[in-house]
Amino acid sequence: MENNSTVELAKQRLNDWLSQGAIAPGDKLPSERELGELLNIKRMTLRQALLFLESESRIFRKDRRGWFAALPRFNYNPNSSTSFKQAAIEQGRSPSWGYMTKERVLTAPAAICDLLQLSEGAEIYKICGWGALDNHIVFYHETFISPRVAPDFIERLGENSFADVWENAYGTATRTHHLAFKPTRLSGDACKVMGGNASTPSILVEKHRADAQRRIVQVDIEYWRFESVDFFINL
């Protein structure tokens, strides 16, 4: 039976390939069958080594597509006025983003309704979208906004940023009122967008944005790929 030292050796050899550039950031690793043959180890041992490297943010997995070498981590301050786009460009990355759905729903979670001072079952705007770095999707978000505070928001959004619409259409400058971080796994919808599965590690970020009267006007629920980002907040 192969022991922990065999797993550690396989992990070290894979890590060396990554460090030496044999597998470039963002590139796909050989299939597990090919890796097993190259390293002359059993698949179970290989899988343990791969999972170790995933936990160390050296590689990531896309469902049904295999393993990939991790890209450089994105340093992101979610409390900053700097946009995702601007922060990415400043770090030499190529950002992209998009909205998948913009809809009126009557089924928002009760906690979201409470935050937006709406009764449970009331109509709420729900916008779902994604953000990518270097053509790799790194986060999925669900954003909730009250139609009472911002009527016709989804019609005005287009492909603009939320901050631009708040300021230009409603004369409101929002600021972060609350931030919460939680290690978790990708949700079902996030899996579909990001190519993960129910076991893919992620970081859940819940963000509340408020107006000048400290009234919460926007709630963001974000799922970030675990290996893709380092969060920080300047005090």
Whether residues 21 and 133 share a domain: the answer is: no
User: Are 88 and 43 in a shared domain?
Assistant: no
54 lies in the same domain as 89 = no
Tokens matching residue 203: 């970081």
Tokens representing residue 151 in the block: 């009527």
> Both 57 and 84 in a single domain?
no
* Summary mean pLDDT of the chain: 92
Query: In which domain, by residue range, is 202 found?
Result: 74-231
> In CATH, what number is assigned to the domain containing residue 26?
1.10.10.10
- pLDDT by residue (tens digit) across 3-33? 558 888 999 999 999 999 888 898 999 999 9
Does the pLDDT value for residue 210 go beyond 60? Answer: yes
For 59, counting Cβ atoms within 10 Å of its Cβ (0-12 exposed, 13-18 middle, 19+ buried), the class is buried
pLDDT tens digits, residue range 32-45?
A: 999 999 998 898 99
CB 193 within 8 A of CB 170: no
- pLDDT, tens digit, 9 for 90 and up, residues 137-193: 999 999 999 999 999 999 999 999 998 999 999 999 999 999 999 999 998 899 999
Q: Which strands, in side-by-side order, build the sheet including 136-145? A: 95-105, 124-133, 136-145, 216-225, 201-210, 175-185
pTM for this model (two decimals): 0.87
Q: Are residues 40 and 116 in the same domain?
A: no
Rg from Cα positions in the chain: 21
Per the CB < 8 A criterion, the answer to whether 126 and 103 are in contact is yes
Residue 198 has pLDDT above 90, yes or no: no
Does residue 91 sit in the same domain as residue 57?
no
> CB neighbours of 30 closer than 8 A, spacing ≥ 6?
38
Do residue 85 and residue 53 come from a single domain? Answer: no
Share above pLDDT 70 across residues of the chain, in percent, rounded to a whole number: 98
Shared domain check, 202 and 135? yes
Domain total for the chain?
2
Instruction: Specify the CATH number for the domain of residue 124.
Output: 3.40.1410.10
